[in-house]
Amino acid sequence: MLWMKEVIMTKYLFFSGKGGVGKTTMASATAIHCATDGKKTLIVTTDPASNLADVFEQEIGHKITPIKGIDNLHAMEIDPDEATREYKERIIGPFREVMPEDVIASLEENLSGPCTTEMASFDRFIDFMEGDEYDIIVFDTAPTGHTIRLLELPVDWSKHIEESAKGSGQTCLGPVQSIQDSKEKYDRATALLKDPVRTTFIFVMRPEALSLYETLRASKELETIGVKSGEVILNGILPEEVCDISFFKKKYYAQQNIIRQTEKTIAQPKRHMFLRDNEVKGVSALKDIGRELFTGKKPHYETERISTAQFVPTFERPDIDSLFLPDGQTKAIFLTGKGGVGKTSISCIAALHIAQKGVKTLLVTTDPAAHIGEVLDVKIGSRPEKITENLFAVMVNQQEAFQEYKERVLNDARGKYSEEMLATMEEELNSPCTEEMAAFDKFIQFIEGKDYEVVVFDTAPTGHTLRLLDLPFDYAKQVEMMAGAAESAEVKKTAQNRFRDIINTLRDKKRTVFTLVLYPESTPIMESYRAMLDLKEAGIETQLVIANMVLQEEVCSNYFFQNRRRMQMKYLEEIKEKFNLPVLQFPLMQEEIKGLFHLRVAVATL
């Protein structure tokens, strides 16, 4: 139990882990514990899909906000758009009175790239680390694959600024002279992240194979940039006393097997947190979590077997074949949702279902965490791999895509432009943000291609997906910036036409189907609803909701699971009313879905 107290000795606490593992809950409970212990505490999230306000049941937003009912505790949700506006003005503001309008316009253009948003959020994040106002700062970071990229930024951007200073003095963040001070700031941030006396990384995971795989992978990636991972919280463990029927006994033993594997493969101290019979929301519930986290006191569970009628909402079963099957032209299917809702498994199930209908199908992941290979139990690379009859899978590897993209752009430009223009283009292409654009470029090629009748995209978790899908809207501006001279008019026109076509495809309901995957609890519903509204603002209509991991009545034989099912039924009714879309319910499966055998069993339930 002492290890959690040792954690509190460091000023900066980073909670990380695969989406949906309870990272925000653990971070929030820790923040409350620190504050009630008399330490002035701030909890801040850098996740574009933040649910901090949902957990605390109060408005927070892009400002430091006191948490009601807890002295010494404040919170903030860094809003990427707001952070970008603040960041741009901080760079451009000092020049407004002394520079001509055309120079200011050029600065504005240079700060219009997609990388500026990512850098601006990180810039604000560093500001908190350099201040002295708080005794403890808890960072509820974005899901692991994206967190690693976030943490690599200070290293990458420092290198980018340094190299740009030797060239034309331009970066996609503006003239080097105007952000040279940032280099020292990013280097200080890197030093803080690597200092175990001041910073601790706490991984939150569930006792599941995919979660263990992700934790090991992320921990190794941290070590490659010189950051030592600290403690591990195993969250959502089934209490043995409530697993009194074979369905849950099997799940309990599967969890225990993963816990044993975790003990063997992860040397760091570990803490076990048990599943509750209801969701954790509000200060009172978070205090209860904190007590278990810091004292090891296990909660009491009602195990009495009861038989009571429950309200069950009625749904008309959607015709998924009419949505998913092609009609003479390539169809793109996007499955998106909060991390941890089983989106990867559902995308694999959907792709196999379509393939079994005799349709040549490609399953694509754009998720840096790349869990598809784990679900399919096949190694997935950057070239389409045949999985079974009519089903192929591929992973968009950002580094490979970046190299291909860079070479293609420079080869196309050679012979057309001056050496000075080529040098400028290469400089801009070496920006870290180009990796993300290159991945999207690859992503588009699968939609444009004619090799497959259906392309199923297992996209990154909701907030990041929306930023990924925003890229084509910003991308034409980025192309203009990279080739900003008159001689680049043809390049700009070609890029703009291409991206206009792809935007039109994304908005065409006959060619593209956007599906939200969630499970019936408050936070996934709220995040999915926000995602649906954000898509709508981009002119994209969501067509289907899949409610995953629904508890079936026949397996809920005691108070604990009946209570959890009652909660799910309430939220299924909310889904029906809130989204006003077809809803497909998918049951909680007895065994973790891994490999074709389990996938075929799952497809049979559709």
Distance, in Å, from the CA atom of 293 to the CA atom of 272, rounded to the nearest integer, reads 8
- What are the angstrom distances between the C-alpha of 525 and each of 72, 94, 205, 571? 30, 43, 21, 8
Give alpha helix (H) positions in 277-319: 283-295
Do residues 184 and 268 both lie within one domain? yes
Q: Would you state the pLDDT for residue 109?
A: 64
Last residue of a domain, one of 271, 295, 319: 295
CA 421 to chain centre: 36
Tokens read off for 102:
């055309």
Looking at per-residue confidence, does 229 or 566 come out higher? 566
Distance, in Å, from the CA atom of 540 to the CA atom of 364, rounded to the nearest integer, reads 20
What pTM was estimated for this model as a whole? 0.78
Q: Decide if pLDDT at 500 tops 80.
A: no
Tokens read off for 398:
């950002």
Name the residue type at position 125.
F
Do residues 572 and 448 both lie within one domain? yes
Tokens read off for 228:
């030592």
Mean pLDDT score across all residues of the chain: 81
Per the CB < 8 A criterion, the answer to whether 437 and 456 are in contact is no
Do residues 465 and 359 both lie within one domain? yes
Residue 589 domain flag: yes
Instruction: Kindly indicate the confidence band of residue 3, based on its pLDDT and cuts at 50, 70 and 90.
Output: very low
DSSP state of 305: B
Instruction: Kindly indicate the confidence band of residue 588, based on its pLDDT and cuts at 50, 70 and 90.
Output: very high
Residue 583 domain flag: yes
Q: Would you state the pLDDT for residue 465?
A: 45
Do residues 143 and 191 both lie within one domain? yes
> What number is the average pLDDT over the span 444-473?
69
Q: Decide if pLDDT at 417 tops 80.
A: no
Collapsing DSSP states into helix, strand and coil, what is residue 274?
strand
Do residues 223 and 332 both lie within one domain? no
Residue 317 domain flag: no
Give the range with max mean pLDDT: 9-18, 37-46, 495-504. 37-46
Residue 320 domain flag: no
Per the CB < 8 A criterion, the answer to whether 223 and 229 are in contact is yes
Residue 267 domain flag: yes
- What are the angstrom distances between the C-alpha of 554 and each of 105, 246, 550, 587? 65, 12, 12, 12
Do residues 122 and 270 both lie within one domain? yes
Last residue of a domain, one of 295, 314, 345: 295
Collapsing DSSP states into helix, strand and coil, what is residue 196?
coil
- CATH code at position 143: 3.40.50.300
- What are the angstrom distances between the C-alpha of 80 and each of 28, 131, 185, 433, 528? 21, 21, 19, 15, 18
Question: pLDDT tens-digit profile of 528-578?
Answer: 898 898 888 778 899 999 999 999 999 998 899 999 999 999 999 999 999
What lies within 8 Å, CB to CB, of 513 at 6+ separation is 323, 324, 331, 332, 333, 334, 543, 544
Instruction: Kindly indicate the confidence band of residue 429, based on its pLDDT and cuts at 50, 70 and 90.
Output: confident
> What number is the average pLDDT over the span 4-17?
73
Distance, in Å, from the CA atom of 329 to the CA atom of 454, rounded to the nearest integer, reads 9
Do residues 441 and 572 both lie within one domain? yes
Last residue of a domain, one of 239, 271, 295: 295
Q: Decide if pLDDT at 170 tops 70.
A: no
Closest CA to 565 of 543, 535, 587: 587
- What are the angstrom distances between the C-alpha of 317 and each of 274, 311, 582? 34, 18, 8
Q: Decide if pLDDT at 193 tops 90.
A: no
Question: pLDDT tens-digit profile of 283-339?
Answer: 999 999 999 999 888 887 776 666 655 667 787 889 999 999 999 889 999 988 877
Residue 315 domain flag: no
DSSP state of 241: G
Do residues 531 and 587 both lie within one domain? yes
For the chain, what's the residue count?
606
Do residues 291 and 332 both lie within one domain? no
- What are the angstrom distances between the C-alpha of 269 and each of 200, 224, 234? 12, 21, 11
Residue 61 domain flag: yes
Give alpha helix (H) positions in 331-418: 343-356, 372-376, 398-413
Do residues 286 and 396 both lie within one domain? no
Per the CB < 8 A criterion, the answer to whether 140 and 56 are in contact is no
Tokens read off for 224:
């490659």
Do residues 112 and 195 both lie within one domain? yes
Looking at per-residue confidence, does 242 or 458 come out higher? 242
User: Domain limits at 405?
Assistant: 327-603
- Tokens 């760079």, residue? 91
- Beta-bridge partners for 336: 516
Q: By 3-state DSSP, what share of the chain in percent is helix, strand and coil, each rounded to 5?
A: 55, 15, 30
Q: Decide if pLDDT at 118 tops 70.
A: no
Q: Where are the beta strands (DSSP E) in 206-316?
A: 232-237, 270-274
Collapsing DSSP states into helix, strand and coil, what is residue 271?
strand
The dihedral over CA atoms of 380, 383, 386, 390, expressed in degrees to the nearest 10, equals 120
Instruction: Kindly indicate the confidence band of residue 172, based on its pLDDT and cuts at 50, 70 and 90.
Output: low
Do residues 264 and 351 both lie within one domain? no
Burial class (CB in 10 A: 0-12, 13-18, 19+), 333: buried
For 87, phi and psi rounded to 5 degrees?
-65, -45
- Total structural domains within the chain: 2
Q: Decide if pLDDT at 363 tops 80.
A: yes
Distance, in Å, from the CA atom of 335 to the CA atom of 434, rounded to the nearest integer, reads 25
Closest CA to 22 of 202, 208, 235: 235
Per the CB < 8 A criterion, the answer to whether 205 and 214 are in contact is yes
Query: What is the secondary structure of 168-188 as a DSSP string?
Result: TSEETTEEHHHHHHHHHHHHH
How many of the other CB atoms lie within 10 Å of CB of 301?
16
Instruction: Kindly indicate the confidence band of residue 455, based on its pLDDT and cuts at 50, 70 and 90.
Output: very high
Instruction: Kindly indicate the confidence band of residue 115, based on its pLDDT and cuts at 50, 70 and 90.
Output: low
Distance, in Å, from the CA atom of 50 to the CA atom of 36, rounded to the nearest integer, reads 24
Residue 534 domain flag: yes
Per the CB < 8 A criterion, the answer to whether 207 and 237 are in contact is yes
Distance, in Å, from the CA atom of 296 to the CA atom of 113, rounded to the nearest integer, reads 48
Query: What is the secondary structure of 516-559 as a DSSP string?
Result: EEE-SSHHHHHHHHHHHHHHHHTT--EEEEEEEEEPPGGG--BH
Per the CB < 8 A criterion, the answer to whether 485 and 421 are in contact is yes
